[in-house]
Homo-oligomer: A and B are copies of this chain.
Amino acid sequence: MATTPKRRLPVMADVAKEAGVSHQTVSRVLNDHPNVRADTRARVEEAISRLGYRRNLVARALVTKRSRMLGVVSFDTTLYGPASTIYGIEQAARTAGYFVSIVSLKSLDATSVRAAIDYLTEQGVDGVVVVAPQRSAGRALESLPSGTPAVAVEGTHRADVSVVCIDQFEGARLATRHLLDLGHETVWHVSGPPDWLETEGRLAGWRTTLEAAGRPVPPPLPGDWSPRTGYEAGRRLAAMDEVTAVFAANDQMALGVLRALSEEGVKVPDRMSVVGFDDIPESEFFSPPLTTVRQDFDAVGRRCIEALLRQIDSGPVAYERLVVPPAFIVRSSTAPAR
């Protein structure tokens, strides 16, 4: 009963009265301003805990014009990549004292991305991270009202939107190089869906490495990240006798390839080597364990937050492009050419 004499939650004024000071002093204590005498501070703190007072961050946001909330717009958060990136973002944001509000989109056309950003902005976020590795999504950022702090993961080239990305080109180069070094004449590629920047980066890394080595560049087999398309590509590859090495643009598709090859009786890695991309937790236990390219999504998330907070704190900064290097993980799905 003593705890709830009135229904209303206690506010600063209540604490002030309880402690016998002004609301301003309570505010000073809360924001630990130096100019408060120790005993006054103690009295206020006691009053706070006695009343169970909690500061109302909405009211504070209204006057400071800082909500301490960040928005994240992402494509299908069920996928391993986005999910991991968002996890990293959330962790980093929270340690920096920020909340994260998420909008996940099933379609990443410029319109929906813009709508999502507007939505978040209206709600008062201090900045936005767009995990939208598609060209079309990048375009949405280009029309962003300048002044809104924003960071993109893998996208856009607009001068005042910073970008954090993993070096896709380098990852693809590592994968292709690895296979060539094993003595394979050339490397086939199962690519991601068009319009994705990752698709393009991996495609370019693969193609360039092949060309630099003077090897034939076979036509890439189209995929959409799903195991199913990898499976379909795998069946086609199994039928071609000359194919000895395949680089799939992600681990799920590599899994599909593995499945198809196994069905067709094509032994991996004896008759064919397979490399993936992402290093999802399952890859290590595929049959056989998958050689792949690891992406450090946590680092991406951290970098995003760092870059975003920099913009929020010190205004628009020069365009930055933060590149996180990939790591190459060799397991048992690759072997020397026969």
Determine if A281 is an interface residue (Cβ-Cβ < 8 Å).
yes
A50 → B minimal CB distance (Å): 16
Q: Choose among B55, B57, B61, B90 the residue that contacts A102 (Cβ–Cβ < 8 A).
A: B90
Q: Mark A238-274, 1 if CB is under 8 A from B, else 0.
A: 0000000000000010011011001000000000000
Q: Are A122 and B54 in contact (CB under 8 A)?
A: yes
Contact of A231 with B by CB under 8 A = yes
Least distance between A166 CB and chain B CB atoms (Å):
16
- Chain B neighbourhood of A123, CB < 8 A: 57-58, 69, 99
Bound form: Cα–Cα A284–B256 in Å: 9
In the assembled complex, A208 has its CB within 8 A of some CB on chain B: no
How far apart sit A259 and B67, CA to CA, in the bound complex (Å)? 49
Q: How many copies does the complex hold?
A: 2
Task: Say yes or no: A124 contacts B57, CB within 8 Å.
Answer: yes
Known: A77-B90, A87-B77, A100-B102. A57 touches B122 (CB 8 A): yes
Q: Are A56 and B87 in contact (CB under 8 A)?
A: no
How many residues of chain A are within 8 Å of chain B by beta carbon? 51
Q: Is A17 an interface residue (CB 8 A)?
A: no
B-binding segment of A78-86, A127-135, A175-183, A309-317: A78-86
| Contacting residues, chain B, for A120 (C-beta < 8 A) | 99
* Residues of chain B with a CB closer than 8 A to A84's CB: 78
Question: What secondary structure prevails in chain A residues at the interface with B?
Answer: helix
**B56–A124 contact, CB under 8 A?**
yes
A59 contacts chain B at the CB level, 8 A cutoff = yes
A287 contacts partner chain B, Cβ-Cβ < 8 Å: yes
Is A104 an interface residue, CB under 8 A from the partner?
Answer: yes
At the interface, yes or no: A227 with Cβ under 8 Å from chain B? yes
CA distance A104 to B87 in the complex (A): 7
Give the CA-CA distance A195 to B78 in the complex, in Å: 25
Please state if A100 and B101 are interface contacts (CB–CB under 8 Å): yes
A284 B227 Cβ-Cβ under 8 A: yes
Distance of A102 Cα from B69 Cα, bound (Å): 11
Contact between A262 and B287 (Cβ–Cβ < 8 Å)?
yes
Q: Is the CB of B90 within 8 A of A104?
A: yes
- Residues of chain A in range 36-94 having any CB-CB distance to chain B below 8 Å: 54-59, 61-62, 67, 69, 76-78, 80, 83-84, 86-87, 90-91, 94
**Bound Cα distance from A65 to B116, whole angstroms:** 24
Task: Say yes or no: is A226 at the interface (Cβ < 8 Å to chain B).
Answer: yes
A-B contact pairs, 7 of them (CB 8 A): A56-B62, A58-B123, A77-B83, A227-B282, A252-B282, A255-B286, A286-B287
